[in-house]
């Protein structure tokens, strides 16, 4: 019997609802296979702040480090918007990523054939899109110092060391080797020194991967190209804030931000979470799309637990469910057969395993 310890962080807003569905699907897998998941819940974000006064209690970091992987929902909400920065839910998440050293955030964007009509872009533009955003996650302007805000002046620092760029570039090239062998590095090197170093370093790393084609794009152009012709991309390599913005943009290619998973790797323990936020406006209504989180659980099996077959099973069950016409409300407009609640959709996906 293979047994895995999963640290579960449900978080705020829709987090608990969507994580429950991912656990439902994992448990359905374990009924059929010789595998067992042991879950332990930890607090982060607003929920942690309310309970302990700290959006990232030490216990959560320790618990995550003792586990085999972290399954995470989402954090944040209007309720905590007024708090000082270091108490905000988002600070908890950023400190968590940093503490675990997960510098590489993989955000795959695929279009399910059944949902081509759900995309805000035309069929002929999005059909067959399959790209991977590799976002640097523990550096850049999110973490750069100095940073300061006073009443009439504020600043942040976008900083990357060569080492930080090298290691994320290597991940992008390794991933490209298993895909179409094309990396597009996105920067703003026509304006920023930090981007010049980014570009030079990407070129250096590329020498170790002669089979992979490396191109460069400025981030403004990349954001335009993503909606003009998203199929041109295989792997997009970029920094923290550009990757944050581009991956939200790319998510709409697929029809709903509720579909896209992510894996944060490169540290001791991988963190698996949907790319979307906590959606406080729809929390507690049972209407959130659980697919991004269920799909993140599949990434967890793939990248942290090396259970590739089981990961494939989950991905197929999701595809089958969409093929059968079952969706949540975010995708309701597009001629789906049945609009399901969050937990109904989880049941159907679990059944389709
Ligand atoms: C994400 C989120 C986070 C980020 C926020 C919640 C801090 O938008 O995971 O994309 O900016 O990284
Ligand atoms: Mn984001």
Q: What is the pLDDT of residue 216?
A: 98
| 328 confidence band (pLDDT: 50, 70, 90) | very high
| 204 confidence band (pLDDT: 50, 70, 90) | very high
Other CB atoms within a 10 A radius of the CB of residue 136 amount to 27
Q: What is the pLDDT of residue 336?
A: 81
Higher per-residue pLDDT: 158 or 251: 158
User: Per-residue pLDDT for 64 more than 90?
Assistant: yes
- The mean pLDDT value of the chain amounts to 96
Q: Which residues are catalytic?
A: 142, 188, 220, 244, 248
- Residues 87-115, mean pLDDT to the nearest whole number: 96
Q: Are 219 and 238 in contact (CB under 8 A)?
A: yes
* Portion of the chain with pLDDT greater than 90, in percent: 92
- Residues 16-38, mean pLDDT to the nearest whole number: 95
**Distance (Å, whole) CA 266 – CA 67:** 15
Q: Which atom of ligand 1 is nearest to the CA of 248?
A: 10
Q: What is the pLDDT of residue 30?
A: 94
Residue among 333, 157, 99, 137 at smallest CA distance from 247: 137
Global confidence as pTM: 0.96
- Residues 329-353, mean pLDDT to the nearest whole number: 92
Residue with tokens 């595809």: 319
Q: Using one digit for the tens of pLDDT, what is the confidence trace for 166-185? A: 999 999 999 999 999 999 99
93 lines ligand 1 (CB under 6 A): yes
- Residues 252-259, mean pLDDT to the nearest whole number: 90
- Residues 93-105, mean pLDDT to the nearest whole number: 98
- Residues 82-110, mean pLDDT to the nearest whole number: 97
Q: What is the pLDDT of residue 291?
A: 98
Q: Using one digit for the tens of pLDDT, what is the confidence trace for 277-293? A: 999 999 999 999 999 99
Ligand nearest to the CA of 240: 1
User: Per-residue pLDDT for 334 more than 80?
Assistant: no
Ligand 1 atom 6, closest CA: 90
Ligand 1 atom 4, closest CA: 244
Going by their DSSP bridges, the two strands 261-265 and 104-110 should be labelled as antiparallel
Residue with tokens 């994320």: 168
User: Per-residue pLDDT for 333 more than 80?
Assistant: no
User: Per-residue pLDDT for 125 more than 80?
Assistant: yes
Q: Are 70 and 270 in contact (CB under 8 A)?
A: yes
Q: What is the pLDDT of residue 159?
A: 98
| 114 confidence band (pLDDT: 50, 70, 90) | confident
If 0-12 CB within 10 Å is exposed, 13-18 middle and 19+ buried, where does residue 112 land?
middle
240 C-alpha to ligand 2 centroid (Å): 10
90 lines ligand 1 (CB under 6 A): yes
Residue ranges and CATH numbers for the domains of the chain are: 1-119+255-353 (3.40.718.10), 123-253 (3.40.718.10)
- Residues 59-87, mean pLDDT to the nearest whole number: 97
- Residues 119-144, mean pLDDT to the nearest whole number: 96
């Amino acid at each position: 019997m293979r047994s895995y310890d999963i640290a579960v962080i449900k978080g705020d807003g829709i987090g608990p609802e969507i994580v429950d569905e991912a656990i439902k699907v994992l448990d359905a897998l374990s009924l059929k296979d010789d595998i067992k998941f042991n879950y332990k819940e930890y607090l982060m974000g607003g929920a942690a702040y309310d309970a302990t006064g700290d959006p990232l209690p030490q216990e959560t970091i320790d618990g995550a480090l003792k586990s085999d992987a972290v399954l995470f929902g989402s954090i944040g909400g209007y309720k905590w918007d007024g708090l000082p920065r270091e108490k905000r839910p988002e600070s908890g998440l950023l400190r968590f990523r940093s503490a675990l050293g997960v510098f590489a955030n993989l955000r795959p964007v695929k279009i399910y054939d059944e949902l081509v009509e759900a995309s805000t872009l035309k069929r002929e533009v999005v059909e067959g899109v399959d790209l991977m955003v590799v976002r640097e996650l523990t550096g850049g302007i999110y973490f750069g110092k100095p940073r300061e805000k006073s009443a009439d002046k504020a600043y942040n620092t976008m900083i990357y060391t060569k080492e930080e760029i090298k290691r994320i570039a290597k991940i992008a090239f390794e991933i490209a080797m298993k895909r179409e062998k094309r990396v597009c590095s996105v920067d703003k090197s026509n304006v920023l020194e930090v981007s010049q170093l980014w570009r030079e370093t990407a070129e250096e790393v590329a020498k170790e991967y002669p089979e992979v084609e490396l191109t460069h794009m400025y981030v403004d152009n990349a954001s335009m190209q993503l909606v003009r012709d998203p199929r041109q991309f295989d792997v997009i390599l970029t920094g923290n804030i550009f990757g944050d913005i581009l991956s939200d943009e790319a998510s709409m290619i697929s029809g709903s931000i509720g579909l896209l998973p992510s894996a944060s790797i490169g540290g001791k323990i991988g963190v698996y979470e949907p790319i979307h936020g906590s959606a406080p406006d729809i929390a507690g209504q049972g209407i959130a799309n659980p697919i991004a989180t269920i799909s993140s659980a599949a990434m967890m099996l793939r990248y942290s637990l090396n259970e590739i077959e089981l990961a494939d099973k989950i991905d197929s069950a999701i595809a089958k469910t969409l093929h059968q016409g079952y969706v949540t409300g975010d995708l309701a407009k597009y001629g789906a057969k049945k609009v399901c609640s969050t937990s109904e959709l989880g049941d159907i996906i679990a059944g389709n395993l």
